């Protein structure tokens, strides 16, 4: 038993440099959501070379690789997201983004490299493998738009997946540590756009116009009171407006104002309550200022909730593989992830792996200064391998 464990561990050790090189290659060539052609091409090529059955072009740029072990068993999936963001990288390194205005600022380059390497390790030891491993490379996580079409394309069927696992690298924890948490982990994320229509005119005579800006300002402030006055204090909710557009000149009352924002929570009932309430609040509030308002919702995704049983499996793997000091339940985060769509279809666990740089305060994900401590990659690989092996029974 010991000897077998040793050889599996060797697989990680001997691939660590290649794993970092692969991540750097993806980092140098980032691609936006649904445009991940080069990335998907490399994924497909590597999986094919490793002997997996590969399907490409799923949900436009998604890839799936199926690895059938030589012994019968269960089917366990691993999910990675492959897209980058419209951010201009500030980091100066030989592998800094070579594509203007596009950057892997969320760590999905690392997710992709880890998932490929996991598939290659398991493929190299296929003879010892009971069951089937399915590797899902989904596009467009940053739009919360890649998971659903992958599921619709049938990636959880043929072979029918029993459980699904995956990880997100995070600068919130130091390299070498992981967070494995049952229950709510990441918030729901829904978008809204409010269009307020007034009547344009001269800034000197606002009484002859209907000012959509004043209505917008009151709506923006008022929406915050929905959170504090209509939701129970025990619940966690964030409502942020990130865009407000109106007007062309300082002394013209515009005829229109548009604001766009995001709503996040861990509770599906609260989500429904607020999304419903916002609609009437916005139009009633606009009417108070003689304007009209319409709200359009972009339903993003529900919260990521890890089931107890599968999370306990991952927790056990993390303790065995990394030791007690490296494992923490952490706290839920208000970020969203469309991994939730997979976890609503199948049991599994989405866990977090630390990549905080050893110096200074880490830049948040999506920031142009985002930096990955690559020592975390091998930790993610080790834990991922341990999870897949133990769930497959290898
Ligand atoms: Zn992101
Ligand atoms: Zn991400």
**63-117 residue pLDDT tens:** 999 999 888 999 999 999 999 999 999 999 999 999 999 999 999 999 999 999 9
Show the tokens assigned to 89: 């990288």
141 C-alpha to ligand 2 centroid (Å): 7
Confidence at residue 6, expressed as pLDDT on a 0 to 100 scale: 53
190 C-alpha to ligand 1 centroid (Å): 15
221 C-alpha to ligand 1 centroid (Å): 27
115 C-alpha to ligand 2 centroid (Å): 15
Q: Which of 137, 143, 136, 135 is nearest to 32 (CA)?
A: 143
- What residues are annotated to the active site? 83, 141
CA dihedral 87, 16, 54, 149 (to 10 degrees): -30
Q: Residue 364: nearest ligand to its CA?
A: 1
Domains of the chain as residue ranges with CATH:
2-183+304-392 (3.40.630.10), 189-301 (3.30.70.360)
Per-residue pLDDT of the chain (394 residues; tens, 9 = 90+): 444 445 787 888 899 999 999 999 999 999 999 999 999 999 999 999 999 999 999 999 999 999 998 889 999 999 999 999 999 999 999 999 999 999 999 999 999 999 999 999 999 999 989 999 999 999 999 999 999 999 999 999 989 999 999 999 999 999 999 999 999 999 999 999 999 999 999 999 999 999 999 999 999 999 999 999 999 999 999 999 999 999 999 999 999 999 999 999 999 999 999 999 999 999 999 999 999 999 999 888 999 999 999 999 999 999 999 999 999 999 999 999 999 999 999 999 999 999 998 888 999 999 999 999 999 999 999 999 999 999 999 8
pTM of the model: 0.90
370 C-alpha to ligand 2 centroid (Å): 12
Show the tokens assigned to 10: 């060797």
The CA angle 178-63-166, to the nearest 5 degrees, is 15
Q: Residue 107: nearest ligand to its CA?
A: 2
Q: What residues sit around ligand 2, an ion, with C-beta below 5 angstroms? A: 106
Q: Residue 169: nearest ligand to its CA?
A: 2
Residues near 114 by beta carbon (within 8 Å), at least 6 away in sequence: 19, 80, 167, 377, 380, 381, 384
Contact 15, 121 (CB under 8 A): yes
Confidence at residue 160, expressed as pLDDT on a 0 to 100 scale: 97
Q: Which CA distances in Å does 52 have to 66, 162, 170, 330?
A: 5, 19, 29, 35
200 C-alpha to ligand 1 centroid (Å): 39
pLDDT in tens, 161-217: 999 999 999 999 999 999 999 999 999 999 999 999 999 999 999 999 999 999 999
Q: Residue 80: nearest ligand to its CA?
A: 2
108 C-alpha to ligand 1 centroid (Å): 8
Q: Residue 350: nearest ligand to its CA?
A: 2
34 C-alpha to ligand 2 centroid (Å): 15
The number of C-alpha atoms within 13 Å of 292 and in the hemisphere containing its C-beta is 4
391 C-alpha to ligand 2 centroid (Å): 25
Q: Which CA distances in Å does 110 have to 263, 319, 371?
A: 28, 22, 12
């Amino acid at each position: 038993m010991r000897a077998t464990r040793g050889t599996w561990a060797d697989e990680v050790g001997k691939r660590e440099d290649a794993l970092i090189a692969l991540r750097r290659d993806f980092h140098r060539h980032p691609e936006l959501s649904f445009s991940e052609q080069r990335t998907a091409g490399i994924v497909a090529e590597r999986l094919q070379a490793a002997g997996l059955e590969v399907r490409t072009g799923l949900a436009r740029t998604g890839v799936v690789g199926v690895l059938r072990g030589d012994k019968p068993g269960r089917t366990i999936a691993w999910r990675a997201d492959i897209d980058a963001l419209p951010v201009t990288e500030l980091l100066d390194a030989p592998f800094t983004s070579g594509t203007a205005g596009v950057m892997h600022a969320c760590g999905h380059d690392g997710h992709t490299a880890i998932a490929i390497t996991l598939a290659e390790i398991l493929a190299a030891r296929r003879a010892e493998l009971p069951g089937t491993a399915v590797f899902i490379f989904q596009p467009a996580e940053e739009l919360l738009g890649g998971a659903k079409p992958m599921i619709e394309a049938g990636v959880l069927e043929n072979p029918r997946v029993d459980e699904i696992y995956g990880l997100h690298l995070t600068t919130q924890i130091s390299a070498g540590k992981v967070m494995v948490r049952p229950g709510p982990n990441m918030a729901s994320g829904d978008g809204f756009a409010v269009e307020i229509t007034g009547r344009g005119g001269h800034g000197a005579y606002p009484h002859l116009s209907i000012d959509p800006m004043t209505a917008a300002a009151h709506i923006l402030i008022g929406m915050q009171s929905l959170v504090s006055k209509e939701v129970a204090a025990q619940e966690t909710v964030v409502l942020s407006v990130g865009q407000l557009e109106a007007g062309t000149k300082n002394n013209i009352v515009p005829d229109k104002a548009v604001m766009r924002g995001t709503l996040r929570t861990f509770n599906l009932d609260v989500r429904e309550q607020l999304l419903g309430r916002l609609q009437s609040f916005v139009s009633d509030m606009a009417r108070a200022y003689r304007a009209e308002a319409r709200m359009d919702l972009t339903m993003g995704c529900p919260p990521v909730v890890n089931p107890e049983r599968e999370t306990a499996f991952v927790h056990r793997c993390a303790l065995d593989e990394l030791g007690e000091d490296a494992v923490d339940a952490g706290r839920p985060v208000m970020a969203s992830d469309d991994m939730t769509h997979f976890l609503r279809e199948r049991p599994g666990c989405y866990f977090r792996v630390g990549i905080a740089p050893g110096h200074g305060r880490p830049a948040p994900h999506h920031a142009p200064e985002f930096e990955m401590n690559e020592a975390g990659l091998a930790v993610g690989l080790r834990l991922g391998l341990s999870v897949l092996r133990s769930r497959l029974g290898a």
